[in-house]
Amino acid sequence: MSIRNAVGDKATPSVVYFEGQDRVVVGAAAKNSALLVPHLVATDIKRVMGLDTSLTFHGVSYTPEMISALILKELTDSAARDTGREVRDVVISVPAYFGVAEREATRRAGEIAALNVLDVIADPVSAALFYAQQSNHGSDSERHLLVYDLGGGTFDTTVIQIQGDDIHVICTDGDARLGGADWDEKVRAYLLDAFTTQHPGLDPMADEVFMQNLAITAEGTKQELSVVPTRRRMLRFAGKAAPVELSRGQLEELTSDLLERTLTITERTLDKARRKGVQHIDEVILVGGMTRMPAVAMRLAQRFGLDIQRHQPDLAVSKGAALFASITQARQAVARRIQDSEEADPRDAPVAGGAAKTTGPEQEIVENTVDPPDIQSEAIIRRQITTVVSRSLGVKVIDHHNATQPYMRSYIVHLLPANTPLPAISPPIRVVTGTDEQVAVDIEVWEQNGAADSKELSDNHMVGRVRLRSEPRIPTGSPIEITFSMDETGALTVHAMEPQSGHEVRFDLQIGEMDQVAVDAARAAVHEVSTSGP
């Protein structure tokens, strides 16, 4: 069942108003507070997940993980209020194009919120699970879906194969900084220009209240134009008023470049799928609130000739994630039962679990309770769900032939290319040491930024590092073998070995700047903050 928040809505805007040092408001009320105190409101936090940054409110610094944790805390509190059951286990859905840093930051957000994160699942996989559950194509049917996911902050496209009950991601692509917020900005600029054209002697841009009100007006106008052909607004500032009219056609023209960017990424994704043997797409599944804009379905159909379907675009992801939580908990229950032949103690039965879409502009939580393993559907437990590496991962190496030009000698060798099926183990690569008498080798793990693999450092970013120590010292030209492995949850393990000495290191990559001590401190800080919903 879908759980509603304090005001009865199924979706909660992912906006946080920092009312004081020990109290925050999450949701629609927080969004409205932005009108009066915009400097105390955090929005679009998903766009900075995985970055080493922070925001300060009332003299207190909050990382993106902490702000996400506050949202998670309110979502799970809403579930507890609505059902009377504590929520501890969660599955969190994220954009498919999130890399290892963003996914790890999302996991940490759950841990900071004192939750047990069963898994972090890609939004399109969740949507495909919900689609498969609702559709009836036969247990042996094979279908290929294109999931077009255009939310408030990010965009991605994913080709998915559904074979009976099994779901396999073929490939994915996207833009982590393209979403409904960019459409809002276009409308906001249009409205502002219309006002200043009618009143050239006024400059309202320095007025925070006016600009926040303008932002809300722009978003509302954009949404309403998905239903009606035209909207008229009255803008007021400094005693002056300006009537402004915007039509759906004008909106589509204003934002045509943004929609074109999504179509370019979609075409790129379909090309990748064709290279992997997918020659036909059976359906396009639209996910995310922005896909309600009529131009989206129209342009997709025109450009690609595809059958467009909507299956609850606002809730499909959260409902699919709830189903995935059910599968995960069922498998864990069976695993426990195998380990212990005696009947499980009732106290060990799973508590209410939740699936939260936690990083988008609208967040939902769907309750999921798991039946005892002996009445679980065998098909559900055996269902296979496979995903892919979202972005290529590699290591930074030095070209010793250019040692006299240090600024030119570093580049990236990718071990796990994007769209490699998971779980995966890369073939080992062999590099050699470049200086004599080394006592250690620093191994830096980098991830691609753009759509295609590139050796250039500027086209990648570092996500973590580790040091391989050696005693005795390593001479010049000594080989180092490096292997990457990534499990089905997206956790990356790096193995490095110096064959001559036998020294090796195997580690789960520490992503970002937050170690366990920092996570524990953040959890304690978030625990002291009181949250309230819409």
What average pLDDT does range 459-488 have in this prediction?
83
Helix 256-275 / helix 180-198 crossing angle, nearest 10 deg: 160
Q: How many domains does the chain have?
A: 3
Task: Say yes or no: 422 and 477 in one domain.
Answer: yes
Domain boundary among 256, 275, 304: 256
pLDDT for residue 342 is more than 70:
no
Six-digit token pair at 170?
A: 């073929």
**Residues 6 or more apart in contact with residue 366 via CB below 8 angstroms:** 1, 2, 3, 315, 318, 319, 321, 322, 354, 355
Task: Say yes or no: 69 and 35 in one domain.
Answer: yes
- More confident call, 113 vs 7: 113
Half-sphere exposure of 90 (CA within 13 A, CB side): 34
Six-digit token pair at 400?
A: 């010793």
Task: Say yes or no: 435 and 331 in one domain.
Answer: no
What average pLDDT does range 352-368 have in this prediction?
48
Task: Say yes or no: 360 and 400 in one domain.
Answer: no
**Can you give the C-alpha Rg of the chain in angstroms?**
25
Q: How do residues 381-404 score in pLDDT, each as one tens digit?
A: 777 889 999 999 999 998 766 545
Which of 231-245, 343-357, 436-450 has the weakest average pLDDT?
Answer: 343-357
Measured CA to CA in angstroms, residue 123 lies from 82, 90, 93, 299, 358 at distances of 25, 15, 5, 22, 11
DSSP element (H, E) containing 416: strand 410-416
Task: Say yes or no: 105 and 203 in one domain.
Answer: no
Q: How do residues 488-533 score in pLDDT, each as one tens digit?
A: 888 889 998 877 777 777 777 667 767 888 899 999 999 989 888 7
- Of 515, 494, 513, 516, nearest in space to 505 by CA: 494
What residue type is 230 in one-letter code?
T
pLDDT value at residue 302: 93
DSSP string, 227-281: TSSEEEEEEEETTEEEEEEEEHHHHHHHTHHHHHHHHHHHHHHHHHHHHTT----
Q: Please confirm whether the linkage preceding 499 is cis (ω < 30° from 0).
A: no
Task: Say yes or no: 503 and 398 in one domain.
Answer: yes
Q: How confident is the model at residue 341 (pLDDT cuts 50, 70, 90)?
A: low
Task: Say yes or no: 85 and 20 in one domain.
Answer: yes
Tokens 């069976």 map to which residue? 334
414: containing domain: 393-487+491-508
User: Does some domain include residue 308?
Assistant: no
User: Does some domain include residue 109?
Assistant: yes
What average pLDDT does range 436-445 have in this prediction?
79
Tell me the three state secondary structure of residue 529: coil
- Report the distance separating Cα 357 and Cα 331, nearest Å: 22
- Report the distance separating Cα 243 and Cα 236, nearest Å: 9
- The vertex-196 CA angle with 192 and 201, nearest 5°, equals 145
- Report the distance separating Cα 372 and Cα 369, nearest Å: 10
Tell me the three state secondary structure of residue 200: coil
Task: Say yes or no: 371 and 424 in one domain.
Answer: no
Count of beta carbons in the 10 Å neighbourhood of residue 484: 24
Residues 241-268 as b or e (16 or more Cβ within 10 Å = b) = ebebebebeebbebbeebbeebbebbeb
pTM reported for the whole predicted model? 0.85
Task: Say yes or no: 350 and 405 in one domain.
Answer: no
pLDDT value at residue 366: 45
- The answer to whether 100 touches 393, Cβ cutoff 8 Å, is yes
Task: Say yes or no: 382 and 399 in one domain.
Answer: no
pLDDT for residue 372 is more than 70:
no
Domain boundary among 256, 276, 297: 256
User: Does some domain include residue 277?
Assistant: no
Six-digit token pair at 396?
A: 């930074």
User: Does some domain include residue 185?
Assistant: yes
421: DSSP letter: B
Indicate the burial class of 323 (C-beta count within 10 angstroms; 0-12, 13-18, 19 or more).
buried
| Dihedral over alpha carbons 239, 245, 251, 253 (to 10 degrees) | -110
CATH of the domain at 480: 2.60.34.10
- Report the distance separating Cα 426 and Cα 482, nearest Å: 9
- Report the distance separating Cα 324 and Cα 153, nearest Å: 24
What average pLDDT does range 151-163 have in this prediction?
91
- Report the distance separating Cα 26 and Cα 28, nearest Å: 7
317: DSSP letter: H
Phi/psi zone of residue 419: left (φ > 0), alpha (ψ -120 to 50 degrees), beta? left
Task: Say yes or no: 236 and 323 in one domain.
Answer: no
At residue 87, φ and ψ (nearest 5 deg) are -105, 120
Task: Say yes or no: 397 and 503 in one domain.
Answer: yes
Q: How confident is the model at residue 352 (pLDDT cuts 50, 70, 90)?
A: very low
User: Does some domain include residue 274?
Assistant: no
User: Does some domain include residue 446?
Assistant: yes
DSSP string, 376-441: S-HHHHH--EE-B-SS-EEEEEE-GGGTT-GGGSEEEEEEE-TT-BSSEEPPPEEEE--STTEEEE
Measured CA to CA in angstroms, residue 253 lies from 155, 249, 398, 401, 517 at distances of 20, 6, 48, 52, 50
pLDDT value at residue 401: 63
User: Does some domain include residue 112?
Assistant: yes
Which of 43-47, 418-422, 467-471, 493-497 has the weakest average pLDDT?
Answer: 467-471
Q: How confident is the model at residue 328 (pLDDT cuts 50, 70, 90)?
A: confident
Q: How confident is the model at residue 120 (pLDDT cuts 50, 70, 90)?
A: very high
DSSP element (H, E) containing 284: strand 283-287
CATH of the domain at 383: 3.30.420
User: Does some domain include residue 227?
Assistant: yes
CATH of the domain at 237: 3.90.640.10
- Report the distance separating Cα 504 and Cα 493, nearest Å: 13
Domain boundary among 241, 256, 271: 256
